[in-house]
Amino acid sequence: MIRPRVGLLIPLLVLGLFLGSSGFAQTRNPEWDKVVEAAKKEGRVVVSIPTSAELRKEFESGFHKAFPGIELELSVARGASNINKAVEEQNAGLRLLDLHIGGTTSIITGLLAQNLLEPVMPAMILPEVRDPKHWWGGHLWADNAKKYIYGFTAYMTETIWYNSTLVKPEEISSWDSLLDPKWKGKIAILDPRSPGSGESTWAFLWRIKGEGFLAKLAAQEMLVGRNLRQLGENVARGKSSISLGLSYYTYVPFIKAGLPVKPISNIKEGYYAASGSGNVVLLKNPPHPNATKVFLNWLLSKDGQAALTRALGQPTRRFDVDTKWTREFGHTSAKEVLTPEKYDELENGSEEVVIKYRKPAMQSAERLFRGV
């Protein structure tokens, strides 16, 4: 029998004392150990996430590996659908959902407006999560109170994608290019009347180009829909030439299949900065309060952020996760090209922007797409 040397055994035992129940390297943290044990007794955590098969796989495999004693139940749907369901449940006195991950508009106009959220910071327990030095820009919040909607991604977003067999990238050099008669009936857009990336893009155009431009764009007889995969498939299969409001995670299956879909990178007026689906909120009086904390800390850890970035292509603000590759797929990480001050100028998802621009832009879309 080979016996370990005492000099080697002692460091290994000491190392064991510095590994939390989750497998995250850390100094011993009695508060964290207590939360993890209580979470195991609760048995599960319920989280609503964006429509992405890749994200579901990454979360299920990553979280289960870190916390095999806690079941992760995921509600996968568009943000607006998840929020509407959560609001209905909360108003009916049901406490079924613990956390929500998604875009800001539906959170702000739904959960935040109805005072259904808990502050996030008290649940950020692990030092690698709580210490702002690990995050580009420190801790960023979408809500004015700076405590309810935590944004963990930040990037310049390219929301025009095209079928490269039908469109040459130089043909779309400006937002005005979309008004060319040759694109009539050939543009697909994620419905701007409902919170989401289509509505975000629409609000950006309302802000920089005006409602007159949007009226002309609406007259291009666009395909307006809310089924992300269907809209993406239309472009990938050539039924539509161009899409607005769709991004990398919608196109992942088609990219993997070798279909000719690409983002437009260079456009004269530029794009906006966004947190995309990279925002997390905690529901008031969650049914699994300790498992909620465990999932939140895993999500905001290096492992959780790497998993989310891989799945959605939306780059995390964590310094220790590689995000350079996301640029190829239409998302340039803010930490690589912007200062936090410039990001504040260009961002399109804060509570202030939602109230000032995005809500009126949605009302504009309601008028322009009446009957569609």
- pLDDT tens over the chain, length 372 residues: 333 444 444 343 333 333 444 445 445 799 999 999 999 999 999 999 999 999 999 999 999 999 999 999 999 999 889 999 999 999 899 999 999 999 999 999 999 999 999 999 999 999 999 999 999 999 999 999 999 999 999 999 999 999 999 999 999 999 999 999 999 999 999 999 999 899 999 999 999 999 999 999 999 999 999 999 999 999 999 999 999 999 999 999 999 999 999 999 889 999 999 999 999 999 999 999 999 999 999 999 999 999 999 999 999 999 999 999 999 999 999 999 999 999 999 999 999 999 999 999 999 999 999 977
- Nearest by Cα to 287 from 98, 87, 36: 98
Asked if residue 125 and residue 32 are part of one domain, the reply reads yes
Look at residue 235 and tell me if it is in a domain: yes
Q: Which residues contact 290 (CB under 8 A, 6 or more apart)?
A: 35, 36, 38, 39, 41, 42
Q: Which residues contact 106 (CB under 8 A, 6 or more apart)?
A: 79, 80, 82, 83, 84, 195, 196
- Nearest by Cα to 267 from 364, 190, 161, 365: 161
Asked if residue 253 and residue 193 are part of one domain, the reply reads yes
Q: Cα(305)–Cα(217) distance, rounded to whole angstroms?
A: 37
Residue 303 to residues 23, 212, 236, 334, Cα–Cα distance (Å): 10, 46, 32, 20
Asked if residue 126 and residue 36 are part of one domain, the reply reads yes
Residue 58 structure tokens: 């990454």
Instruction: Show the domain range for 70.
Output: 6-153+276-322
Assign residue 289 the CATH number of its domain.
3.40.190.10
Q: What is the DSSP letter of 163?
A: E
